[in-house]
Amino acid sequence: MKRLLSGNEAVARGTFEAGVKLASAYPGTPSTEILETIAEEYPSIYAEWSPNEKVAFEVGIGASLGGARTLVTMKHVGLNVAADPLMTFAYTGVGQGGFIVISADDPEMHSSQNEQDNRLFAKFAQIPFLEPSDSQEAKDFMLKGYEISEKFDTPVMLRLTTRISHSKGIVEESDPMEPRAVGFKRDMEKFVMIPSNAKKRHVVLTERLKKLAEYSETTELNTVEENGSEIGIITGGISYQYAKDNLPDADYFKIGFGFPLPLKKISKFIESHKRVIIVEELEPYYEEIIRAAGMKVEGKKYFSRLGELSPYKVGLGLKEAGLIDEIKGAEIEAGPLFPRPPVLCPGCPHRGAFMALKKVGVAVTGDIGCYTLAMLPPLQTLDSCICMGASIGTAIGMEKVGGYDKGVVAVIGDSTFLHSGITGLLDAVYNKSNITVMILDNRVTAMTGGQQHPATGYTLMGEKTRAVDFTELCKALGVESVRVVDAYDLKAMIDVIKEEMARPGPSVILTNRPCVLMPKRIMDRPYVVDPELCNGCTACFRIGCPAIMPSKEMTKRNKPKAVIDPVLCTGCSLCAQVCKPEAIVLAEEPVSVK
Amino acid sequence: MNEVINVLIVGVGGQGVLLASEVLSEMAMKAGLDVKKSEVHGMSQRGGVVSSHVKFGPKVYSPIIPYGQADILISFEQAEALRAVDWIKKDGLIATSRTRLVPPITAGGKFKYPDDPVADLKKKVKNVIAIDADKIALELGNPRLVNILLLGVVSSRLDFEISVWEEAIRARVKAKFVDLNLKAFARGRELAKESAGAAV
């Protein structure tokens, strides 16, 4: 059957067709929908959200040792978290079940803090990687990946990028294999990496690489497309499509199996063409290896190392290389226009927390989640954001050197705290830090679209489970003061922050309002602006709520009055709390009658 | 159809850009064409700009439309149509809602929301259909119908059987909203007919 599937949905389908028995992950854009699709469409596969990528990877190792085909998924930066087990699992090789780890990279940083190219990670760990260029290949390469993993006794990386994960294309589906687990076969020399065993396995790893290099020369994952052209293009992943859009009739060396590279086959391709250009996104990964092998190619001098490529950018590069005469650009100019920056949702409980932090004026170390949006105008109340779980450690360091006299507050979401914040908080207690940690608990992994985690009380597969109690957890870590506060009560938030900042030793403030969008959109009675009372002071605009807009009506001093969109307003009341003339009132209250 | 048709759909987060592009892609696949589509959006769930590229034809390579290559631009917010005009072909068609969503950032005086984005649009592009989609959607019974309403408008300029469109709507819209969406789609087609003389 033919279906229109995103790359992520196609990977999920591939998992099903390959007879995978276990899939584990921590959500992260652009990888999240893989496990969501598995849980929804293929419930015969056990699927779990793990607290972080390291744990997800280790769960996957166990399943592979247990003899089942296994999938572990994460975004590019997630692989940094899972790097520890990855590097050693490359040594041991897999159990009797094949193992694929997905790295969904995010060129252009649509939703990420860096744009690392994880093809380099596969080379670093010395494991093969496959790189699909559309949804159909995303599915097909999964099946191929398990064959390679089992044949060569190695974990395999399937490398996606945002444009592959989130684009849709037509996929031809096949019948699934039966999931199976052939069981655990004890082999201490292979799986117990004490130094004496690891030394032997390092030898196995290098021998395996030689075999993989031979396989790379013959596999149909690396294809040559002959069109009788003197010009050859070496490319892979989404870059292949961008190159084809520009030069449909050139000859192509399309790389689907990217480590180790098929250098002999590439050499033959280069020799039989007058000129060969490499088109690849982000790092000059192919180019450096091919050049190091002494071959003459051109590449990154025509294409940026920054951000995503596009048909247009690839066209510009090919034009610069002299392969295209003219590339079409915009025929009509858009001209300057106001920006529409992303903002916290209407009614988002994080807004109250950041309004309070801004008022108190402390340094705020941030973390990865929706609340990172608090750094954008107009709130602009976030001083750092490094990686998952970094807020607490960063706050400890800043406080220890007296870096900011008004004190430091670390903000971290519920899911992020469970991912890698717990150890940071343990450090704050153990090393006697005077920081305050705000756990912005909105009861869901919101940034990635609302996934469950160990404190929500539900598993990915929809079963009820035991939920972590944050107050008890923090107390057990040794935090003496744990306060719960209503994120919609601005005065209470400010008071509690001040009190906890004044207290010596580490303290925790938990906010208690759930995400307004998930699992179900929360709507209360909407507020409206009484235009008679609005004096155009802009206090409500400065909280950055998308439901509040400047109206066409002006005050006497020619300032726009505020107006609230009743469809967007959730009734959180924060704007009413900052409105000095009390012009923001509940919709059903008679307007202008106070 | 020998050529690839490029359709760009833009709007603000929460307006149904993704559903509209799903329906359009599904329709093209059901009509036997190759299809690719891709979303380009920022971090925000709501309030930021969202766009979706849909390409269909005998063979589609990349899922991204190059600048100046969109045959059709569909916009659910009038100023967002203006923001996206550098994607449209000179003789392309723009179908936009007159919806006005003014972000808080324009309150400080540094940025200005245009007085009449549709008028600006018409100065730049010949084929513009602008409709009061919010009002019509409300009349039909649900403010969220704006997307399918505009898809109906555009369908009148694409050479596909109505039954294929309707099949795609049934496949992609939640069951209890199907009838309402089919009504909005039909209304969109009527509107396109009414504005045919003026726009093209």
Model pLDDT for residues A176-231, shown as the tens digit of each residue: 999 988 999 999 999 999 999 999 999 999 999 999 999 999 999 999 999 999 99
pLDDT band at B1 (very low <50, low <70, confident <90, very high): low
Q: Is the per-residue pLDDT at B39 higher than 90?
A: no
Collect all residues of chain A within an 8 Å Cβ-Cβ radius of residue B135: none
Beta bridge partners of residue A412, listed in sequence order: A439
Mean pLDDT across A285-307: 98
> Considering only residues 50 to 79 of chain B, which have any Cβ-Cβ distance to chain A shorter than 8 Å?
60-69, 79
Tens digits of per-residue pLDDT, A386-402? Answer: 999 999 999 999 999 99
Spell out the residues 6+ positions from residue A34 whose beta carbon is closer than 8 angstroms to its own.
Answer: A8, A9, A11, A12, A15, A23, A25, A71, A73, A102, A104
Taking CB atoms and an 8 Å limit, are B83 and A337 in contact across chains?
yes
Q: Is the per-residue pLDDT at A423 higher than 50?
A: yes
Q: What is the ipTM metric for this complex?
A: 0.92
Mean pLDDT across B29-56: 86
pLDDT band at A146 (very low <50, low <70, confident <90, very high): very high
Q: Is the per-residue pLDDT at A588 higher than 90?
A: no
Tens digits of per-residue pLDDT, B135-181? Answer: 999 999 998 999 999 999 999 999 999 999 999 999 999 999 999 99
Q: Does B32 touch chain A (CB under 8 A)?
A: no
When the pLDDT of each residue in chain B is averaged and rounded to a whole number, the result is 91
When the pLDDT of each residue in chain A is averaged and rounded to a whole number, the result is 95
Q: Is the per-residue pLDDT at B182 higher than 70?
A: yes
Where are any strands of DSSP class E within A70-220? 70-75, 99-105, 129-130, 156-161, 167-172
Coil, strand or helix at A579: coil
Q: Which residue of A has its CA nearest to B91?
A: A331
Radius of gyration of chain B from Cα atoms? 16
| Residue A199 burial class via C-beta count within 10 angstroms: exposed 0-12, middle 13-18, buried 19 and up | exposed
Beta bridge partners of residue A181, listed in sequence order: A68
Question: What pLDDT score was predicted for residue B108?
Answer: 75
What is this structure's pTM? 0.94
Taking CB atoms and an 8 Å limit, are B62 and A341 in contact across chains?
no
**In the block, residue with structure tokens 């550098």:** B86
Which of B8, B41, B52, B67 has the highest number of chain A CBs within 10 A, making it the mutation to test binding with A?
B67
Q: Is the per-residue pLDDT at A352 higher than 50?
A: yes
Collect all residues of chain B within an 8 Å Cβ-Cβ radius of residue A516: none
Query: How far, in Å, CA of B58 to CA of B75, rounded?
Result: 26
Collect all residues of chain A within an 8 Å Cβ-Cβ radius of residue B29: 2, 4, 170
Most confident of A305-309, A373-377, A557-561: A305-309
Spell out the residues 6+ positions from residue A396 whose beta carbon is closer than 8 angstroms to its own.
Answer: A424, A427, A428, A431, A433, A435
What dihedral angle (degrees, nearest 10) is formed by the CA atoms of A120, A122, A128, A131? -60
pLDDT band at A593 (very low <50, low <70, confident <90, very high): very low
Which of A314, A324, A340 has the highest number of chain B CBs within 10 A, making it the mutation to test binding with B?
A340
Taking CB atoms and an 8 Å limit, are B47 and A2 in contact across chains?
no
Query: How far, in Å, CA of A135 to CA of A311, rounded?
Result: 18
Coil, strand or helix at A543: helix
Tens digits of per-residue pLDDT, B95-134? Answer: 999 999 888 788 777 899 999 999 999 999 999 999 999 9
Collect all residues of chain B within an 8 Å Cβ-Cβ radius of residue A328: 66-69
Taking CB atoms and an 8 Å limit, are B124 and A332 in contact across chains?
yes
